[in-house]
Amino acid sequence: MFVNEERVLEYDQNTPRDMLRTTIRIREGLNNILLKIVGDQTARLHFKLGDDVDLASDEFNNNLWELIGGYAEFEERSRALTDDSEDVRRLVTLRYRDSDAHSVSVIGTFNGWSPDHSLMRKAEGGAWEITLSLRPGKHAYRFLVNNREQVLDPNSHHEEPDGYGGKNSVIFVSR
């Protein structure tokens, strides 16, 4: 595997296939990624682009055609991320207070409802907070407290049905 013309991962036949893993930090903007797949029909590719805060692409598991087919969508998302116009993204800070919480995440439409992608940090004064980079538009979300209890944002003035008999908090990000 090469990233920006630099070899970052190399196949070694003495290393078990499931141990050939690496995490690569890519630079801001466009990056060149070259994958050379070695193996037979049992060879698998797990490829994820993005980070814990800003997922740039879906995960493509074991389906190279999905990766190739999804490239146009990924390229469009990447282009939007590097767009110089002011309205591409806005910084939004969310805060939640719970003195009994040991961990708090924000889950929502902007991170695939994943508790691993938007972990909040305890700030001075005891409030949990996170600053997200969000695209303009409507975003539904909830707080996940101690990895088990989903809580609406008490600071949000907007809610909507979640489609399962509950509600989501909603934030509107302006252009």
Question: 52-85 b/e with 16+ CB inside 10 Å = b?
Answer: eeebebbebeeeeeebeeeeeebeebbeebeeee
Residue 110's nearest CA partner among 127, 128, 132 is 132
Handedness of CA 127, 99, 109, 56 (dihedral sign): positive
Residues 93 and 169 in one domain: yes
Per-residue model confidence (pLDDT) at position 6: 76
The verdict on pTM exceeding 0.75 is no
Among 82, 99, 124, the domain boundary falls at 82
Its domain, for residue 127, covers 88-173
The DSSP call for residue 53 is: S
Q: What is the pLDDT of residues 115-151, one digit of tens each?
A: 888 999 998 888 999 999 898 889 999 999 999 999 9
Q: Are residues 55 and 7 in the same domain?
A: yes
Is a pLDDT exceeding 50 seen at residue 61?
no
Using the 3D structure, point to which of 47, 82, 117 is the last residue of a domain.
Answer: 82
Tens of pLDDT, residues 66-100: 455 555 555 565 555 555 454 478 889 999 999 89
Kindly list the strands in the beta sheet with 128-134, ordered across the sheet, starting from the edge strand earlier in the chain.
90-96, 128-134, 121-122
Instruction: Report pLDDT for 18.
Output: 63
Residue that is last in its domain, among 55, 82, 109: 82
Let me know whether 122 and 57 are in one domain: no
